[in-house]
Structure 1
Amino acid sequence: MPEDRPAEKSGERTGEPKPRRRQARGERRIAQLLQAAADVFCAYGYTATSTNAIAREASVSPGTLYQYFPNKEAIALELGDRLLAQMREAHGQAFTPENLALPLPELLDAVLDPLIEFNCQNPAFLALMHGSEIPGRIAEEHDALHASLLARVGDLLGHYLPDGDPAQHARIADMTFAIVKAGLALILAAPEGPERDAVITETKTVLLRYLDPVIGRALTTIPSP
């Protein structure tokens, strides 16, 4: 795949991004380029992707792409910011007091369904956030989001198991995230339709069987947060 445009030719990587056209046409072009970048990142990963490949996917010339983004990193940062904002919104829909008052099977549906839907609609999220050599700011923001979610799961466990060991809560939260991450990879790899639905069901079943002995009974006896 062609190499990205060398930064030293114009000092692109050291300077500020060029001003963007904020007119409606410019915003449509930016959205087109970001969607193309998402598709190419999914297909080849961040490291192997070039601006030329993104331009080809968007059916525009490299010169047109450079009118909006100075380099691949700027594209990844813009795409990452938008995906992280959408992911935070999905988390907000999942961790609500109403959901946390549900029995465990319904709680898993309420928490996981928005996250699964987001990842199925945005497969570039996992490709970009977990790829090698991704821009540092994206990695930092993703790590912060991950830490905040772990803290929320830990707080949830602490609420239902007030006499439990905080270290145990942290281990359970880590294991829960590992199960979800592995399940998401299998879900995204499965064809849409009955096969993907079956993988989603299996992922929830694994979580239910893991968590039910820990907090399933507590969910029926402790007031909701």
Structure 2
Amino acid sequence: MPDTADSQGKEQPRRRQARGERRIAQLLQAAANVFCSTGYTAASTNAIAREAGVSPGTLYQFFPNKEAIAIELSDRLVHEMRETYGEALAPVDPGTPLEEAVGAAVDRFIAFNTEHPVLFALMHGPDIPGRIAEEHDALHSTLAGRIEGLLAVFLPDAPPADVTRTAHVCLGIYKAGLELVLAHEGAEREAYVRELKNVLVRYLDPLVCDGLGRTDPTGLPRTAT
């Protein structure tokens, strides 16, 4: 028969750990709200504590300053972003229409960034805390590599240097478009997303056609737009 006292003794640390994780999540969400509304530079630990509905003393039990909060927040988001981008840029069937492949990837990217606008806010302020910039640059380097892999399906005969260059141009177009997308809401945001997809497809379509003479699913030659 299990020792009741021993079981209770083990359960208490687990409960305290669970409460601590919930509190950290609460503080990170509050910080995200504050960073988005005021920017990282103007944010304060008092404002974050107030947003979270806790005392500054409670906040300091978990984080020594706002930089530590921003770093923890960005670390978690970058990890999640890697998974999202990896899924969005998974290998596709060679018969997949270009428009479909581009649209699916852009939708996943935009969904993540609109759900977590704080990462964009942290990256585009006058002060970038900790090593967030380096981590973000490393992420985008990985992202460019994944885009190359995706493009290789559509440009199998293109020289590697051309595929690399095309991938970086696509990434640059996306980053510029993302700023416009996040600056708008509702129907206007959706319109900017459509424009971003159109720009990418119109850039890639002539390269695909000129390089391969690909055909669309109907079996007709693709034409550049």
Give the TM-score normalised by structure 1: 0.79
Secondary structure of the residue that 1:111 maps to in structure 2?
A: helix
Shift in CA distance, 164/68, structure 1 to aligned 2, threshold 3 Å: same
Give the Cα–Cα distance (whole angstroms) in 1 for the partners of residues 125 and 164 of structure 2.
25
> Which residue of structure 2 lines up, in the alignment, with residue 215 of structure 1?
208
Q: Structure 2: 5+ residue runs without aligned partners? A: 1-14, 216-225
Which is worse superposed, 139-148 or 99-108?
99-108
Amino acid in structure 2 at the alignment position of 1:211? L
Q: How far 1:172 moved relative to its partner?
A: 2.1
Query: 1:181-219 deviations in whole A, cap 9, x for unaligned?
Result: 121112112112x22221111111111111111125749
Which is worse superposed, 153-162 or 49-58?
153-162
Amino acid in structure 2 at the alignment position of 1:205? N
Which is worse superposed, 212-221 or 24-33?
212-221
| Alignment match of 2:143 (pick from 138, 149, 172) | 149
- Contact kept? 2:27, 2:52, Cα under 8 Å: yes
* 1:196 maps to 2:189: yes
> Which residue of structure 1 lines up, in the alignment, with residue 17 of structure 2?
23
- Contact kept? 1:36, 1:57, Cα under 8 Å: yes
Shift in CA distance, 74/213, structure 1 to aligned 2, threshold 3 Å: same
Q: Once the two structures are aligned, what percentage of the paired residues are identical?
A: 60
Root mean square deviation of aligned Cα: 2.3
- Contact kept? 2:92, 2:101, Cα under 8 Å: no
State how 1:42-191 maps to structure 2 within 5 Å: 42-98=36-92, 101-191=95-185
Amino acid in structure 1 at the alignment position of 2:17? Q
Q: Which has the larger radius of gyration?
A: 2
Secondary structure of the residue that 1:46 maps to in structure 2?
A: coil
Equivalent residues, number: 200
> Which residue of structure 2 lines up, in the alignment, with residue 5 of structure 1?
none
- Contact kept? 2:36, 2:121, Cα under 8 Å: yes
Query: 1:55-97 deviations in whole A, cap 9, x for unaligned?
Result: 1221222111101111111101110111111111111221122
Q: Structure 1: 5+ residue runs without aligned partners? A: 1-20
Amino acid in structure 2 at the alignment position of 1:183? G
Secondary structure of the residue that 1:98 maps to in structure 2?
A: coil
Q: How far 1:174 moved relative to its partner?
A: 2.2
Amino acid in structure 2 at the alignment position of 1:168? D
Give the Cα–Cα distance (whole angstroms) in 1 for the partners of residues 30 and 179 of structure 2.
22
- Contact kept? 1:103, 1:220, Cα under 8 Å: no
Q: How far 1:102 moved relative to its partner?
A: 1.5
Amino acid in structure 2 at the alignment position of 1:120? T
Shift in CA distance, 101/30, structure 1 to aligned 2, threshold 3 Å: farther
